[in-house]
Amino acid sequence: MKRRLRSYPAPAADQASANFVRGFVATGLLAALPSGAASAMAPNAGKAILRQALQGGIALAAGGTAAGALQRRDYRTALVAVTGGAAAVVAVDYLLRKPARKDNKEKALGQEKA
């Protein structure tokens, strides 16, 4: 007679990655759909949607990890999840923000135009 294998709960990393994907897709759809046709044609619309989707995924994954840690009364993990999530959201915002304007009256070699 064969024994049935017990199913074990998924590790926390798998749950965090699943929460990230859920948040990424949900926030991406929310950012893309109400924007309409006019703003979807804007030059940086894709970048803005990507930034919002990444931030939503990160926030949901950090929030889910922190909530699970608080249920287990693991306050250190909850604090690390919240601060790590906040740092990641700020990093995504910094890396995907709009580039500076290039009409600064300088030549390619760094010399000002007369």
Q: Are 75 and 37 in contact (CB under 8 A)?
A: no
pLDDT in tens, 33-78: 665 545 556 677 788 888 888 888 898 899 888 888 888 889 999 8
In a domain, residue 43? The reply is yes
> Residue 90 belongs to what domain range?
12-95
In a domain, residue 72? The reply is yes
In a domain, residue 109? The reply is no
In a domain, residue 26? The reply is yes
In a domain, residue 50? The reply is yes
Any idea how long the chain is? Answer: 114
Q: How far apart are CA 26 and CA 59, in angstroms?
A: 12
In a domain, residue 39? The reply is yes
In a domain, residue 76? The reply is yes
Percent of the chain scoring above 70 in pLDDT = 64
Q: Are 57 and 93 in contact (CB under 8 A)?
A: no
Query: What's the whole-number mean pLDDT along residues 13-29?
Result: 74
In a domain, residue 101? The reply is no
- Is the pTM for the entire model greater than 0.85? no
Total domains in the fold of the chain: 1
